[in-house]
Amino acid sequence: MARTSIAEPHQSLVQQRLGADLLWSPTMCFNLFGGLAADLVLADRAVHTWWPDAPGNVSEVRFAHSPGRLDRAYLGNLVAFDVVFALDLGGGSQGITGIDVKYNEAAKRHLAKPARLPRYREVARRSGVFAQGRIGAADGTDLLVMWREHVLALSMLQHSRGRWRWARYVVTYLSANSDVAGACAR
């Protein structure tokens, strides 16, 4: 449990729950991807098998990772990816594949905190990824959590340090989880 011995700022990874709730997403991530964290050659092979267009080489596998919890240069919230494959792109720049693992979670409607919604919308608008008129449309729906994670990846690309040059956001889920499957399809 080397990962739990190092806490990221404002992180809420509860070690007791990791051992007690084997269906909790962070626990699932340790079980699904833990072996890859110990073998970066294998992790690199896996990433490039799953996503052949991923650039660079895997330099690190991080669990329950956020580049900056509560840092307004990102999103100013506590959103984190369940697992991140950090990619070395050369020249000091990095890429990331941020993964959200959904096993037994149900898709629930959520409202963004009004004070944070303008930042989410700003990052989404600047990214050019979302259709005009759809920015912020996830607020109040079962898509908000995934949208915020997607926007977190986009905020990394927009950060003033310019360290991140490539990002991919992935949701992995059990095919029988119709709530998450439906949300991903929408």
Structure tokens given for 176: 């029988």
Strands, DSSP E only, in 66-143?
81-90, 93-102
pLDDT of 170 reads 96
C-alpha distances out from residue 83 to 31, 56, 94, 128, Å: 11, 18, 16, 25
pLDDT of 104 reads 76
pLDDT of 130 reads 87
pLDDT of 110 reads 86
pTM of the complete model? 0.86
The one-digit pLDDT tens for each residue of the chain (186 residues) are 555 556 665 566 656 555 656 666 777 788 889 899 999 999 999 999 999 999 999 999 998 888 888 888 899 898 999 999 999 999 999 999 999 998 777 778 888 888 999 999 999 999 999 888 888 788 888 888 899 999 999 999 999 988 999 999 999 988 888 888 888 888
pLDDT of 21 reads 62
Distance CA 4, CA 68 (A): 17
pLDDT of 109 reads 86
The residues, any chain, with a CB within 8 Å of residue 19's CB and separated by 6 or more, are 27
pLDDT of 23 reads 66
- 8-state DSSP, 161: T
pLDDT of 98 reads 96
The residues, any chain, with a CB within 8 Å of residue 132's CB and separated by 6 or more, are none
Distance CA 141, CA 71 (A): 25
| Helix boundaries (H) for 21-162 | 25-38, 40-50, 117-127, 144-158
